[in-house]
Amino acid sequence: MHAPSAGEIVAANSNHWRKIINLLAKVASPQEDDWRRFRDSDLFEHTALCFEPALKEEGCWHWIAGQANLQRFVSLDHHAAVLPEDAEIAVDGARRLLLSPYPDYRQLSNQRVARIREALAQAGFYGGVAF
């Protein structure tokens, strides 16, 4: 399957999707300051957006975001630990899960993205498989 271009998705949709894709790139980019290049050239080579309430593959990370979406995974067996400085974000490194508020700038400020990146780095995300 051909990986879509972030630019094509944004152009075909709305500003809403631009925000989601930018936040996905900010979190997933191996180099924090290089997220724009990562978004435009590599994002969908290493990540995917899924809309089914099930984890897709073993061995890859899953980011489940937004209160309504989190409810669809209520029966998911995990041990996600809430970040000490932010009770709305949790990471389960063993199960490779990130649980967070909806990916919107009002919900995920740059400060929150930095906290997520730090937690993912501690869990080995940036040396392993992306979302």
More confident residue, 91 or 11: 91
Is residue 1 scored above 70 in pLDDT? Answer: no
Evaluate whether residue 10 is within a structural domain. yes
More confident residue, 128 or 79: 79
Evaluate whether residue 70 is within a structural domain. yes
* pLDDT score recorded for residue 109: 94
Q: Which residues pair with 82 in a beta bridge?
A: 90
Least confident of 31-40, 108-117, 122-131: 122-131
Evaluate whether residue 1 is within a structural domain. no
Domain span at residue 113 reads 6-127
Domain total for the chain?
1
Evaluate whether residue 35 is within a structural domain. yes
